[in-house]
Copies of this chain bind each other. A is one copy, B any other.
Amino acid sequence: MLKIPDNLAKIDLQLLRSPSAFLRSLIGATEIDPVLQEYGAWWKAEGQGISDAVDRAGTPWVTMFDKGGKRVDEILYAPEYWHMLHRGYRAGVLWRAFEQKSLLPSFLLIYITSFYDSGLSCPYTVSLSTALPLSKYGDAELKERFLSKLLQRERPWQGATWMTEIKGGSDLGNNVETSAVPDGGIWRLTGDKYFASNAGAELAVVAARPKGSPAGVRGLALFLVPRYKENGGLNYAIRRLKDKIATRSVPTGEVELRDSEAYLLGKAEDGIYLILEVLNVSRIANSIGSVALTQRAIADALEFAESRVAFGRAIIDHPLLRQQFTERLQDLRGGFALAWEACKLLNEVWKERRPYSDHYHLFRLIAHLAKYWTAEFAVQTAKWCMEVHGGLGVLEEFRMERWLREAMILAIWEGTAHRQMLDALEVIERKHAHHSLLKYVERSETPELRKIVSSIDEHLRLPAEQREGGWEPIVANLAKATAGALSRQLSGDVSAR
């Protein structure tokens, strides 16, 4: 258990440097604790170096055509990339969700992964986001055919979630132009996906608009699109990979669908709900991954601060810097509590269908707060950890600048802070989820949280424009207070007290 005594004498660097030990200190030893330890040990010994090399190499190449002129769209990662990637699947980031009938093992494995390579958590997350709707909405034949492939322990198929098109990702209702046309028992999809995470995946869930369906968000449906057609041909083309500043362990591409074979999931008219359920998973994974990245950045900065000497003592012993570490460790604990609560709630509600329960709406509120708050904290902490390193922090040679790049992506994908704030506002306006929240954390509820909830009730009486315009400071307080309250419910203690 990580303690910072009053005299701030000693931060436990060893604990901070191990994601599995850190988890254990907060939630106790879970059933898969040995798995987490072993997986973490592999990362420390081998995976980390691979991840560094993948980041250094930048955007991988795509071989579009083989020498014979056949379109192949193969992504040229170094062989060790695939080794690294498959390590997590083998550990159970996918199959455990079904075998252990709980999403928590997946999120714990994603935590370990993100401590070392937050980008690699993306393939795992989108594969999970593919497997879950398939298992929930797919008929027996689809599951037989595809789900088993995703759940293999060795070299499983990978999933992917492709929603966003060139005009923007927030407003899917207006921006998804990919069309779906029925053709015999299947559908044919045509359109371009502009941010296609895990391009090259064997199976993607794709948002498209069935011909004749209404305009806007109600006209969207969710489809399964395999990489290869039934006849073995490529079912979608990778136009190119995006040159991103980070998360180079996931190939994000522009994907062209051209009469691509597809399978409808659920009912077409429920499509937007299925899409939002997919997003639930990735937002939660983003949250837990953000916390892991934050832990990592702090651990690296602490290690540096313990060895760097200025004005006659290690810089960790300079009072202002020590105070800054202390505050960040408290927030780290809070951020974890928030993200972990979101994981647990998702685990409870993910099988719900419309009409959703209040518990589901509570989950949504906490999910938006967690996505927003943990990513914001990750960015701020990565930035600060660069500063702790002084000039070394901006050199590509060391890892610190990478954590900021990675964090920026976490802050943006799955919806920026702006989006999360407004979505939180919406579930508060429509479902009064802030009251559910207050009730939910009453065990450790603080006067502060109660005050914020009251202020929200008051805020809701404003005209719509002002309600939205003035929302940021309130939602920030709500996120922070909720994190604080949940933090007090954790079994262990990470911060200074």
Contacts and interface: CB of A to CB of B under 8 A. Distances in A.
Contacts of A318: 468
Nearest to A407: B383
A246 B401 CA distance: 11
A114 interface: no
A79 B49 contact: yes
Contact of A468 (B2, B174, B254, B320): B320
Contacts of A79: 46, 49-50, 53, 80
Interface string A358-386: 00000000000000000000010001001
Contacts of A309: 167-168, 171, 174
Contacts of A239: 64, 239
Contact of A80 (B1, B80, B409, B464): B80
Given A57-B57, A408-B394, A307 B168 contact: no
Contacts of A465: 319
B78 A49 contact: yes
A184 interface: no
A346 B324 CA distance: 31
Given A79-B53, A408-B404, A390 B169 contact: yes
Interface stretch (A92-100, A133-141, A417-425, A438-446): A417-425
A324 B1 contact: no
Contact of A470 (B1, B57, B389): B1
A75 to B, nearest CB: 12
Interface string A402-414: 0010001101110
A166 interface: yes
Interface string A76-103: 1111100100000000000000000000
A491 interface: no
A393 B168 CA distance: 12
Given A80-B79, A168-B308, A412 B394 contact: yes
Interface stretch (A65-73, A334-342, A478-486): A65-73
B243 A397 contact: yes
A476 interface: no
Given A244-B394, A397-B63, A69 B418 contact: no
A323 B470 contact: yes
Contacts of A308: 67-68, 168
The 8 nearest A-B residue pairs measured at CB? A53-B78, A319-B469, A69-B166, A319-B468, A171-B310, A243-B396, A49-B79, A80-B80
Given A53-B76, A245-B401, A386-B412, 8 more contacts: A50-B80, A56-B57, A78-B78, A168-B310, A320-B418, A324-B472, A404-B404, A404-B408
Interface of A: 1-4, 46, 49-50, 52-53, 56-57, 61, 63-65, 67-69, 76-80, 83, 164, 166-171, 174-175, 194-195, 239-240, 242-246, 254, 304, 307-312, 318-324, 379, 383, 386-398, 401, 404, 408-409, 411-413, 416-418, 421-422, 459, 464-473
